[in-house]
Structure 1
Amino acid sequence: MTRGSYETRLDPELWVYIDAVNAWYPPEILGLPIDKQRAVYDRMSRAFHQGRPPGVKARDGLIAAAGRDIPVRRYQSAGTAAKAMVVYYHGGGFILGGLESHDDICAELCAGTGFDVLSVDYRLAPEHVHPAAFDDAVSAFEWAATTSGLPLVLCGESAGGNLAAAVAQATRRHASAAIGQVLIYPGLGGDESAGSYIEHAEAPLLSVGDIAFYRDVRSAKRQSPDDPTFSPLRDTDFSGLPPTVIVTAECDPLSSDGEAYRDRILASGGRAWWHEEPKLVHSFLRARTTVPAATEAFARIVAAVGALGRGAWPY
């Protein structure tokens, strides 16, 4: 990868992170079979794993849904009576990741808020194209809504941000609809002819070519781009959504999706806040312990989840 204008635009400590990711998972890996990509991604995730904070316990389980079982992992703070549950959808372009790849992030989210966190191991493409991941995401929400007895906050990053938004839209009239959602550099199916899609088309760690690759792998035959369960920004109704916080990275082609989503919610009379983290790139959550700007961004994310789970508006 050539650094181009990003050589001086991004801080040296962020370049250390970017180079470390590319050493594990270089851009050209998209040409390999999916199972090989997953093996490399899983090794990279283990290399970046920070361990779980003291006092956080986790247990694995299965959610029965329409003839299939959805693996989940529930995190709880020992000795703390949780006031809410976070339903967390991991990133990975809908083809990568699972309970292990984002284990430490979920554990830290649990420790930072005192809330239970339910990490969802939804089905991945290409074995399971859309709407498989969405169906699993909704089933996990419905299970949490009916069994946890806790208010729910939806949260996800990248592909998981897409799922969280799609679930929020599909379940907004549920008897136990989410009381908030936090989307972290989500891909929402925005306008690829403008904004960050053009300015940051070749950004480090995610390019528009990567986005197209993941979208194509996920798509069923004759997939409509206007399906809001596939592209939440293509919905025609943004009313009735829970209070929403969207955090994106400046140097990420997906950043404009966050701005557009905020604007649609506000125009429909809802409450939403979007923040673009300056001089950061897609996947900055993995840099939260080594890059000060990512550390601060993650702290803001945890604080937003905490406030929404308590029924407060953080901004």
Structure 2
Amino acid sequence: MDYDSLIDAETWDFIRRTREAYPDDSTARTLQEERASYDAMCDVFRQPRPEGVATQDQLADGVSVRVYVAGNPSRTVMYFHGGGFVVGGLDSHDDVCADICAQTGYRVVSVDYLLAPEHKHPAAFDDAYTATCWAGAEFGDPIVLAGDSAGGNLAAAVAYHARGRLDCILGQVLIYPSLGGDMESGSYIEHAEAPLLQRAYLLQYAGIRAQGGVAPSDDPTYSPLQGNDFRDLPPTVIVSAECDPVCDDGRDYGARIVAAGGRAHWICEAGLVHGYLRARGTVARARDSFERITVAIEALGQGLWPYD
């Protein structure tokens, strides 16, 4: 793959800075060192919270969350952070959630779900679903689910499970989500050596959150693409990075929703790489994509579908 022609200079600079702060040598680090290194890398790109955004850390029926508010919101965004189910937390994605709050005017609830390998599946999913149920009862607002990477997986898993159980979910916006696609074909092979996320890393972590270390083959709360019924899912926008092994997961998930009679829109962001949300302050392509993401969240929160 000729990444020199696909990826522009700004994005290459983002890749370089990311690698300097978070080298690709996770096997040489302890779990605690890995998490500290990831958090330090996120700090390199952290932007200040927009003026007017207030936050409060609290418990959502036992799950740690951070609530972002600007003004008097009438909608709630449940945000699930990325990090391969192993790293990340409330601080790693603090500025992303603050920006979503400021740009949409919606309340944002960031969920500090339990991480693997200490906490096996369904721990992360249970926390995501528990926090979503809590937010629906606590605020009484309609909800838009959102998340990046592993967090996109959790958002989709919550949407799948919530059918017939929750009536407050208006839509979901998934950002370069890892949804459990076929790692022997498509983008997993074409972009196996993509900058910042390689297929080998995905294979290494494939079963890290599974009981016994073997990923299940029929559990959509673990891998949403393993579902066998995609009817009645909420309107869905999926935003993938072109230069990313998991790119096709977003395409395939959206196609299954549409085939089942639902609404889904897939955006493939040209020349971008996994994790590009952190580049929205320095890379024009990432900034434009983040604008599309926040517009999608705002539109779904209003019951609008601007993609026909």
1:113 equivalenced with 2:104 (yes/no): yes
Q: Deviations over 1:39-79 (max 9, x none)?
A: 11111111211010011111100122xxxx211000000xx
1:300 corresponds in structure 2 to 292
1:269 corresponds in structure 2 to 261
Conserved in 2, the CA contact under 8 Å of 1:228 and 1:235?
Answer: yes
1:289 equivalenced with 2:289 (yes/no): no
Listed as ranges, the matches of 1:73-112 within 5 Å are: 73-77=66-70, 80-112=71-103
2:42 corresponds in structure 1 to 45
1:173 corresponds in structure 2 to 164
Q: Which of residues 23, 28, 38 in structure 1 aligns to 2:20?
A: 23
Listed as ranges, the matches of 1:83-232 within 5 Å are: 83-221=74-212, 222-232=214-224
1:70 corresponds in structure 2 to 63
Residue type of the alignment partner of 1:6: Y
Residue type of the alignment partner of 1:103: D
> TM-score, normalization: structure 1?
0.95
Q: Deviations over 1:214-241 (max 9, x none)?
A: 2232221154132111110010000010
Q: CA–CA distance in 1 between the matches of 2:168 and 2:25?
A: 41
Aligned residues: 306
Q: CA–CA distance in 2 between the matches of 1:47 and 1:243?
A: 34
Residue type of the alignment partner of 1:190: G
Q: CA–CA distance in 2 between the matches of 1:175 and 1:109?
A: 23
Moved more, 161-170 or 39-48: 39-48
Residue type of the alignment partner of 1:96: V
Conserved in 1, the CA contact under 8 Å of 2:60 and 2:135?
Answer: no
Aligned-residue sequence identity (percent) comes to: 52
SS state at 1:46 partner: helix
Q: Deviations over 1:94-147 (max 9, x none)?
A: 000000000000000000000000000000001101110000000011101111
Structure 1 residues 63 and 250, CA gap change in structure 2 (3 angstroms): same
Residue type of the alignment partner of 1:187: S
Q: CA–CA distance in 1 between the matches of 2:277 and 2:107?
A: 20
Structure 1 residues without counterparts, runs of 5 or longer? none
1:5 corresponds in structure 2 to 2
Q: CA–CA distance in 1 between the matches of 2:74 and 2:201?
A: 38
SS state at 1:27 partner: coil
Q: Deviations over 1:271-313 (max 9, x none)?
A: 0000100000000100001110000000000000000011111
